[in-house]
């Protein structure tokens, strides 16, 4: 099941990359084919995509399209198709003329070319040599995603730089979320009464009902700007401050507000689910057995109720892997963090096609990895789980 899904996704991405318009392309194919035109980046960009190669290992068309049509320079294909193929002329004769003399026949010579009688008969052409898919797959195996049109850098290097930022922030956030949810949830069930638990649950619902954009902007206005009050402007240093350049204190202080905006909704959601599961487990038959064994409430929670409550939340791990690619777009934009979300947003603005397809590809890969990791943890947690 997994292998067909991966192969199918690869084919969809290839079709998508070849179907998306090249409106951001900083060079034109017809210019590249001129002898006096020199542009190293354009040559690398277009050669990587196999601009002058057939699309796949085979194609299904009619006899009106000769096989050699796919080896014509891209800049003359439209003219050739309009002059010979749509007019019904025998395009093979015109192609031989072009490859021999480097130009198309004149109007008088075109009139002498006979019409093709079987032009509507379907036919299959096979291309065993290089084609776009072969070039694309070879680059993919080498993790070569192409070049960015904004600064002509390799896509893989830009993604890796942004990934390190996003990974660092999400790793810290992931640890804070787990510690906060499990510790506070455990002591809340153990120490608080039902009325206080209900109040905290209502607060969690209020946080979850607040849009992330509104929450992020409000936090920045209150604690990172002097407009409302100079006494609240305690986090004036924002953005991404590398620890090797600014030191640990500046690095950490610049991430306090962004981390708060990331972890607060996650803590609210997971805490609500975690406490609900614990309270539900207290009415399960095994909780009665725990009391009969003479165990205290604290011992019963730690040994039996907590593992029961953690089990349904293990599949949420796959969302963490996806967030490593998607990043937190709103937080990264508001706090000027050069993470994955902001890089993808900037790529969409300028239609950086190689970058966009690379993001889709990596998102697919990370979602599969997250799915496998969560399923493995589920199996280790409970070997009786049926994955069918």
User: Quick one: average pLDDT of 176-199?
Assistant: 84
d(C-alpha 161, C-alpha 285), whole Å: 52
- Do 197 and 345 lie in a common domain? yes
The predicted model scores a pTM of 0.75
pLDDT digits 0-9 by tens, 154-181: 888 999 998 888 888 888 888 888 888 8
Mean pLDDT across 77-91: 69
Shared domain check, 371 and 294: yes
Q: Could you give the 3-state DSSP secondary structure of residue 137?
A: helix
One domain, residues 285 and 365: yes
Whether residues 133 and 193 share a domain: the answer is no
Q: Are residues 288 and 260 in the same domain?
A: yes
Could you list the residue range(s) of the whole structural domain that residue 134 is in?
2-141
Q: Give the DSSP H or E segment for 349.
A: helix 340-350
- Tell me whether residue 147 is in a domain: no
Q: For the residues 358-373, what does the mean pLDDT come to? A: 82
- Could you report the per-residue pLDDT of 234-283, keeping only the tens digit for each? 666 567 777 777 787 878 878 888 888 888 888 888 888 888 887 777 77
What phi, psi does 115 have (nearest 5°)?
Answer: -80, 150
Same domain, 130 and 247: no
CATH of the domain at 253: 1.10.3720.10
Within 10 angstroms of residue 340's Cβ, the number of other Cβ atoms is: 29
Residue 95's pLDDT band (boundaries 50, 70, 90)? confident
* Tokens describing residue 256: 């306090």
- pLDDT of 35 above 50: no
CA distances from 80 to 84, 93, 111 (A): 6, 12, 15
Picking from 116, 141, 166, the residue at the C-terminal end of a domain is 141
With contact defined as beta carbons under 8 Å apart, do 278 and 185 qualify?
A: yes
* The pLDDT value given to residue 31: 46
Average pLDDT over residues 86-91: 66
Q: Provide the pLDDT for residue 138.
A: 82
Residues 140-159 have pLDDT tens digits of 888 888 888 788 788 889 99
Q: Measuring CA to CA, which residue among 302, 381, 352, 335 is closest to residue 45?
A: 352
Q: At which residue do the structure tokens 């499990």 appear?
A: 182
Assigned domain for 42 exists: yes
Considering the domain architecture, whether residues 178 and 133 belong to the same structural domain is answered as: no
Whether residues 269 and 331 fall in one domain = yes
Q: Tens digit of pLDDT for each residue in 202-240? A: 998 998 888 888 888 888 877 777 666 666 666 665 677
> Are 361 and 304 in the same domain?
yes
* Average pLDDT score over the chain: 75
Burial environment of residue 370 by CB neighbours within 10 A (0 to 12, 13 to 18, 19 or more): buried
290: enclosing H helix or E strand: helix 285-292
In this structure, the answer to whether residues 56 and 171 fall within a common structural domain is: no
If one counts the domains in the chain, the total is 2
What's the whole-number mean pLDDT along residues 76-80? 72
């Amino acid at each position: 099941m997994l292998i067909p899904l991966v192969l199918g996704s690869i084919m969809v991405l290839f079709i998508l990359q070849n179907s998306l318009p090249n409106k951001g392309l900083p060079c034109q194919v017809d210019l590249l084919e001129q002898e006096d035109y020199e542009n190293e980046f354009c040559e690398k960009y277009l050669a990587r995509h196999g601009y002058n190669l057939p699309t796949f290992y085979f194609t299904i068309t009619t006899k009106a399209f000769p096989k050699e049509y796919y080896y014509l320079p891209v800049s003359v294909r439209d003219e050739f198709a309009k002059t010979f193929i749509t007019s019904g002329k025998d395009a093979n004769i015109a192609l031989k003329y072009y490859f021999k003399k480097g130009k198309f026949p004149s109007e008088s010579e075109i009139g002498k070319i006979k019409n093709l009688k079987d032009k509507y008969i379907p036919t299959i052409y096979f291309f065993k040599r290089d084609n776009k898919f072969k070039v694309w797959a070879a680059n993919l195996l080498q993790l070569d995603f192409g070049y960015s049109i904004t600064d002509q850098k390799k896509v893989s290097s830009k993604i890796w730089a942004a990934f390190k930022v996003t990974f660092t922030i999400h790793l810290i956030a992931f640890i804070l979320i787990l510690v906060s949810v499990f510790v506070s949830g455990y002591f809340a069930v153990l120490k608080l009464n039902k009325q206080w638990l209900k109040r905290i649950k209502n607060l969690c619902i209020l946080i979850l009902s607040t849009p992330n954009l509104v929450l992020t902007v409000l936090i920045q206005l209150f604690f990172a700007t002097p407009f409302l009050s100079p006494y609240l402007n305690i986090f004036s240093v924002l953005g991404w401050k590398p620890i090797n350049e600014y030191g640990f204190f500046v690095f950490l202080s610049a991430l306090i507000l962004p981390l708060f905006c990331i972890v607060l909704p996650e803590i609210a959601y997971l805490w609500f689910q975690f406490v609900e599961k614990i309270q539900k487990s207290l009415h399960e038959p095994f909780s009665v057995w725990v009391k009969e064994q003479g165990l205290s409430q604290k011992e019963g929670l730690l040994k039996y109720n907590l593992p029961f409550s953690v089990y349904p939340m293990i599949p949420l791990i796959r969302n963490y892997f996806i967030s490593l690619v998607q990043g937190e777009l709103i937080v990264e934009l508001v706090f000027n963090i050069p993470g994955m979300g902001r890089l993808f947003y900037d790529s969409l603005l300028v239609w950086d096609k190689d970058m966009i397809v690379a993001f889709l590809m990596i998102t697919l890969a990370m979602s599969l990895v997250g799915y496998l990791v969560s399923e493995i943890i589920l199996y280790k947690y409970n070997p009786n789980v049926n994955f069918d």
